[in-house]
Structure 1
């Protein structure tokens, strides 16, 4: 069955699978280290309460049948261990059926986490990891050449990621059409990185060039993925270069790195190493791959319809298993940046002279003198949701109150999500939140003050509150 396999892509498959396993590792570690405060039994949005409301058919998950923090930890750490083994090459050291089962186990474990993660797992890169992970199950190992149908599906996924992101921009904010969005984006993006300040201060004509290049790479180049080699390799290389530019300019969890891994799967490895003969695919494997390919193509009708719609949606799953999804980001770019600053005091009764101490977050802007840090591909879920909460209190309705209660109780799991706890000995008596307008400092301000940000108070976000014992216990 020479038509079924593409031996020239053996190196591309190895790089893709090892890279994907590495991102699975990051995702499972992110879950293992943060879940207790976010969705644990005593978390802000507990899984047990969620699964009582949502049926298994709407959110299939191992935790629909049983949940405990110990079981979740076993799933997350077990998934991390398996991902590490696959990154080290375990998938090629076992027979083809076993390798497929191991990839399927990785996908199933992470699906179980995402489907009970609620708001904390509502990001597009969660679905992208699951959709990519499902295709990895079908890609095989050294027992057979990479199957052509799956290589096509990987390109189809990469096309939807890039083309969908391009369409949502060109249909969305006017600044994408007049090439001025990057006047603001580096300053207002959810979590700036250490170089974002410098990107923001690039000359404005260069920002327009960046914007125009983005449109070319996202709206024109993806079509070339379906052309013969080496054109498809060049197209994938342009996407990799664009994604690396985004990696340097911000913190977008594993979105950029996963897009890079997908692009690497479209590159012809024989251009570097030559062909690598591999065994012929067994019949059962051909049947499974062809059936799965047909399923994905049928399910693709929803994303295609969404791409063609004038009301294109971003980052939406059309099935509970996240098999085929739609993607896109930054259809609208903010012109201003507001940040929530959370403070506490040990004063029994706050008054005008009360000293308030600020909690420090790991990734989101807080102390104006602290340079933004690199965290991607690791995902700081609380910091990301704080950005949304500053846009509108509606984004924080379900979790911000429980977050404050846990600060007042001195909850250790919640405090581990923060960089700095100003009350190491005893929890505060009161906590409040205030909304500030942030902007990057100028070159002169940075030299004279050492501050990366300038901020001014806008208004109170949450008035001083005490611990409500009954709510905390509940």
Structure 2
């Protein structure tokens, strides 16, 4: 039997781009865990992992931490992920034999899976499952000296298809503003975490906003089919997706969602587009690798039944994992668009008056320009946005967050940009809700402010440690 189709030198550059960008995203994910996991999920965190592990078995949440958990052990796991992903990014895995190369990528996947599966509400984002699914496929890509296995490249394109086409479908089935082309009248202002250019995007002419929506529908509902077309159509489809994702990266902060979508798009591009990437000569895969890749293809085909059924069904859901290993997931984003931006403003009082806590990413001070955060992920800031939409998102952790502020908890305060009570903790804290909107051009010139805000309600009235129990 002729197996020459299995490996292709024409996609070696595509594999190189996918692997190195995935290594960068893994590095971002593990660094986020190093810096944020202890205050969010540590032994004394806002939603402590030991409590979660006591109530959840291994079958419900496969994780290395079912064997043992301590904050110190978690730090070892997270730093191991940092070291391995940095090594892969630097190209160290490309000089390894095939089995060792696969082992490194398998360890990266297993470590990150262990974190996500105990991450609770802080890790309930679609890009976590997307990284795990892409990372699992990357285990089988092989080092630079082995011909790129085409079934894995096709599976990466299939993953990208589900990301884009699923997102396109959920928009058309969801909010009417996607169907009448007005979604971007609101989105740039009301998105979870605006970036430095979001205000400029918001003030683009409305006809251009309608063009943006039309381009989005074309990119997500038509272009994905081109990923499986002969070259150069597949490369063109990949390039269109890359350009669209870059546009989104400039217009807001979406953690590594845009970067990983760009990463997957490279899988569709052949050497005619990526020939500028130098590669060594390749040899065919050994039979055992061929068998492993074919088994992977069968597994993904079987698991694809659930996301395909979800996409074709009338009650499509977004960002759903159908198994605890986060393989064969369904994706989607912004099936509904909020028309008005509400922000939670957290304040403390030490007896001298109310002062506001500043967050690293989310809007607060109206004179502060929205920062560029992505591809780094500020988990607390994102959850605060969800709480402003529905306070139920904070049910499990918001009281503990307020209690931590009343104690001047050093670990939790590291998640914030500024603590207005550096000497001693406040006596009371409260959370007020404000309506935010971008300043007009005239207001920006006159006041220097990026936002205009008006109070709308009080989410949490003034409380003390005694009130919180």
TM value normalised by structure 2: 0.98
User: 1:350 maps to which residue?
Assistant: none
- Write the mapping of 1:10-409 to structure 2, written as runs, cut at 5 A: 10-273=12-275, 277-347=281-351, 355-409=353-407
Query: Structure 1 residues 469, 457: closer, same or farther in 2, change over 3 A?
Result: closer
Matched residue of 1:222: which SS? helix
Query: Structure 1 residues 119, 284: closer, same or farther in 2, change over 3 A?
Result: same
Structure 2: distance between partners of 1:276 and 1:431: 61
Structure 1: distance between partners of 2:133 and 2:17: 18
Structure 1: distance between partners of 2:24 and 2:273: 25
Shift of 1:461: 0.9
Structure 1: distance between partners of 2:367 and 2:420: 17
Structure 1: distance between partners of 2:309 and 2:229: 23
1:35-65, Cα deviation, whole Å (9 max, x unpaired): 1110000000000000111111010001112
- 1:413 lines up with 2:411 in the alignment: yes
Q: Name the stretch that deviates more: 435-444 or 275-284.
A: 275-284
Conserved? CA contact 1:31–1:76, under 8 Å: yes
Pick the aligned partner of 1:433 from 431, 434, 459. Answer: 431
1:387-436, Cα deviation, whole Å (9 max, x unpaired): 00001111111111000000001101100000010001111111111011
Structure 2: distance between partners of 1:280 and 1:456: 65
- 1:461 lines up with 2:459 in the alignment: yes
Shift of 1:270: 3.9
Structure 1: distance between partners of 2:400 and 2:226: 49
Structure 2: distance between partners of 1:318 and 1:163: 18
Structure 2: distance between partners of 1:170 and 1:257: 24
Structure 2: distance between partners of 1:469 and 1:50: 25
Shift of 1:293: 1.0
Shift of 1:91: 1.5
Shift of 1:8: 0.5
Q: Where does the alignment leave 5 or more consecutive residues of structure 2 unmatched?
A: none
Structure 1: distance between partners of 2:385 and 2:19: 33
Q: How many correspondences in the alignment?
A: 465
Shift of 1:306: 0.4
Structure 2: distance between partners of 1:143 and 1:375: 36
Matched residue of 1:82: which SS? helix
Structure 1: distance between partners of 2:148 and 2:34: 33
Structure 2: distance between partners of 1:291 and 1:143: 22
Conserved? CA contact 1:389–1:396, under 8 Å: yes
Shift of 1:272: 4.4
Conserved? CA contact 2:145–2:280, under 8 Å: no
Shift of 1:269: 2.0
Matched residue of 1:205: which SS? helix
Shift of 1:161: 0.3
Query: Structure 1 residues 48, 218: closer, same or farther in 2, change over 3 A?
Result: same
Q: Where does the alignment leave 5 or more consecutive residues of structure 1 unmatched?
A: 348-353
Conserved? CA contact 1:7–1:276, under 8 Å: no
1:259-278, Cα deviation, whole Å (9 max, x unpaired): 00110121112444399641
Structure 1: distance between partners of 2:54 and 2:268: 43
Structure 1: distance between partners of 2:197 and 2:368: 13
Structure 1: distance between partners of 2:44 and 2:171: 40
RMSD of the TM alignment (CA)?
Answer: 1.2
- 1:444 lines up with 2:442 in the alignment: yes
Matched residue of 1:58: which SS? coil
Query: Structure 1 residues 468, 81: closer, same or farther in 2, change over 3 A?
Result: farther
TM value normalised by structure 1: 0.97
Structure 2: distance between partners of 1:377 and 1:261: 13
Query: Structure 1 residues 436, 271: closer, same or farther in 2, change over 3 A?
Result: closer
Structure 1: distance between partners of 2:213 and 2:274: 32
Structure 2: distance between partners of 1:379 and 1:311: 30
Structure 2: distance between partners of 1:375 and 1:157: 26
1:128-148, Cα deviation, whole Å (9 max, x unpaired): 000000000011112311111
Conserved? CA contact 2:145–2:281, under 8 Å: no
Matched residue of 1:246: which SS? helix
